[in-house]
Amino acid sequence: MGQSRTVPVLFLSDQIVLPGMVVPIPLDDTTRAAVEAARNAESGQLLIAPRLEDRYPSYGVLASVVQLGRMPGGAQIAIVRGERRAHIGTGASGPGDALWVQVEVVEDGQGAHPAEEVRDLAAEYRKLLLAILQRREAWQVVDFVNQLDDPSALADTAGYAPYLSAAQKRQLLETPDVAERLRLLIGWTRGYLAEVEVSDKIADDVRAGMEKQQREFLLRQQLAAIRKELGELDGDGPAKGSVDDYRERIEAADLPEKVREAALREVGRLERAGDQNPEAGWIRTWLDTVLDVPWNVRTTDSTDLAAARDILDADHHGLQDVKDRIVEFLAVRARRAERGLEVVGGRGSGAVLALAGPPGVGKTSLGESIARALGRRFVRVALGGVRDEAEIRGHRRTYVGAMPGRIVRAITEAGSMNPVVLLDEIDKVGSDYRGDPAAALLEVLDPAQNHTFHDHYLDLDLDLSDVVFLATANVVENIPPALLDRMELVEIDGYTADDKLAIAQGFLLPRQREKAALTQAEVEVTEAALRKIAADYTREPGVRQFERLLAKLMRKVATRLAEDPAAAPVVIDEPDLVDYLGRPRFTPDTAERTAVPGVATGLAVTGAGGDVLYIEATATPGEPGLQLTGQLGDVMKESAQIALSYVRAHAEELGIDPATLQRRIHVHVPAGAVPKDGPSAGVTMVTALVSMATGRQVRPDVGMTGEVTLNGRVLPIGGVKQKLLAAQRAGLATVFIPKRNEPDLDDVPADVLESLDVRPVTDVAEILSYALAAAPAVATPVAA
């Protein structure tokens, strides 16, 4: 051992420093304290030792701080150079926050070993080390190693060796004897060289095997070409997936000329690419896709119009507009075929219909019925939530995992070029950074363009002109105008009470009886019970919830019969529904809601169909102004402003004390969790404000809809049919609509018009004169 000294100590967990090494050390609080203590100490040194989990280290390296600096990322580091081994003694005290220890410097020497033995060991290790460096072509390091004469310094260069573990380097640090260190390094380095030689031999064998396979592939291709020229090919035919197999399939397939030429070009590329080329797999996938498309397969349309109408009527009740449009399509096709004008494909020979309406009215199931009526195959494409344009047009073939779009896949699945394709929930297509699928549908749904639809994956024109496209949507306003313009809109506005009864008796009840394994002799639901379910247990434009309740009825009947078979037949009448379904969920509440002045009943259209909309108004003391609540949109807020301005301007003729309107007016539309917008509540807001200001109640059986102007004119609105259906469901007797919406009454079912007194008006004063009840006998201040 050498001299003893006291130095600051720095423990490192992630690296081992040997004498002669120059390493960077990141500076944190502990490291900075040790470095600063070393720089301030007389010796200018610190001890760097490994941090061990199981014991206190015995040895470390005395190092000096070469430089302080920063990494490119801004982190501070200290560059230190290891100089001498040191044996760690006891702890000591010193200035600053650093830890101090007492160490003894270890003098380099050969110990008890002869100098000749140490030189031989150093020469052997140098030879092994140079072999590794030459394999890596690290020529500058080779020169450095050749210049080292000191065996101890040569052994300590192993601190830079990446193939030694931290435990091995720590063992070298704790071995002061040079000969022992060299023996350890010789053993470790020989083992590493043996592993490297085995790895290189395996790599060489793999490379030689690949070259052999490539030679065999080339020779087999040449042999096949020679046999083909000599006409000596076997009669078994080519192997599946081979170039010759694809050629035979393309020649046998009934492909359009341009498609055939493109397929043969790809077969040529496959032949040149070879099996080892990754592009060969992409070409095979493309060829399989092209050969799966039914390019010239078409089904024959049914020409029996009566049979087609019978199929449509048997599957769906009502929906006359859609049924008439399909029968018209068949009639024109049959007439053209009869006169020899039928053209396969071509511009505009298909049809694009958009079925818009609330949920549960049968839009999706109508697609299958239309396909049956036409005698065509049916395929459904769900578009709800699709946000990637490539889902419609396909991916470019350069992308990994590329595939054709949903339109091509639908045609392939149908197996013909003239199926009925149902694009379900087209109003719920989204858009983001991947593109706008609705924009990609513009070409698909344009009868003047879709005879040359171009899919990015196929990179070929596809004739979609003979496809009957049906699109379904709940909210027409969510469909982009350019896309809606390419489709023929058919609105399905919901069912009347009589419609629901007919659907339940003819479709829903038999289906649910069959699902519950019941017969008509075992269970009967009376007409009164069905009407009660439709009126008080459901309030929907469609029949989806209606069918769920019928399913619940059948399940309970099946349970009852399983427990008591003698109970058959079970007859369910109106009074029995409480036992089976519980109390009614919906009861007429218009009379209750309008029992106080300031509440009027309006009509609105949502994505779920028509509904009644109550508007409440009141006046409170405070600064004059208008307060609106109920999560109203900008258009509806403007309607409230217009309504208040109209009432203020006509206060005298309406019998309103102007002082009443100089208070804070609060207009509220209940169900505040539901966003509301649109101008059609204008007349309802005027009626609610006048009712509040005069103290006259609004008649409970009166509903209204219409946009109002500042001078009281009633302007037209949309959704008249759905609103009148909602008024009938709510039990209203009189409904006011704009005069200019009178033509829309032609589309309203006759039974609805019979049950409602529909009054077209041009001025809101006409509504006020009828809708407001007589003034109370004793007038009281409303807002006092």
- Position 14: which residue type? D
- Position 446: which residue type? D
2 a known binding residue? no
Extract the tokens encoding 588.
């007429």
Catalytic residue among 152, 639, 680, 691: 680
760 a known binding residue? no
Residues ≥6 apart with Cβ < 8 Å to 465: 345, 346, 347, 348, 349, 350, 447, 450, 451
| 29 sits in which H/E element | helix 29-40
Residues ≥6 apart with Cβ < 8 Å to 699: 594, 734, 770, 771, 772, 773
675 a known binding residue? no
d(CA 623, CA 660): 12
94 a known binding residue? no
- Position 311: which residue type? I
What are the DSSP calls for 686-714, one per residue?
HHHHHHHHHTPPBPTTEEE--EE-TT-BE
d(CA 204, CA 520): 81
d(CA 756, CA 334): 42
**Is 723 marked active-site?**
yes
Residue 592 CB neighbours (<10 A): 11
| 685 sits in which H/E element | helix 682-694
258 a known binding residue? no
358 a known binding residue? yes
Residue 146 CA neighbour count, 13 Å, CB half: 10
d(CA 128, CA 776): 114
Measured between alpha carbons, how far is residue 427 from residues 34, 322, 736 in Å? Answer: 68, 19, 31
Residue 619 φ then ψ, to 5°: -120, 135
H helix intervals, 231-319: 243-252, 257-273, 279-292, 305-315
360 a known binding residue? yes
364 a known binding residue? yes
Catalytic residue among 723, 739, 755, 769: 723
What are the DSSP calls for 480-541, one per residue?
-HHHHTTSEEEE-----HHHHHHHIIIIIHHHHHHHTT--TTTEEE-HHHHHHIIIII---S
**Is 637 marked active-site?**
no
Binding-site sequence positions = 357-364
Residues with active-site annotation = 680, 723
Binding-site sequence positions for ATP = 357-364
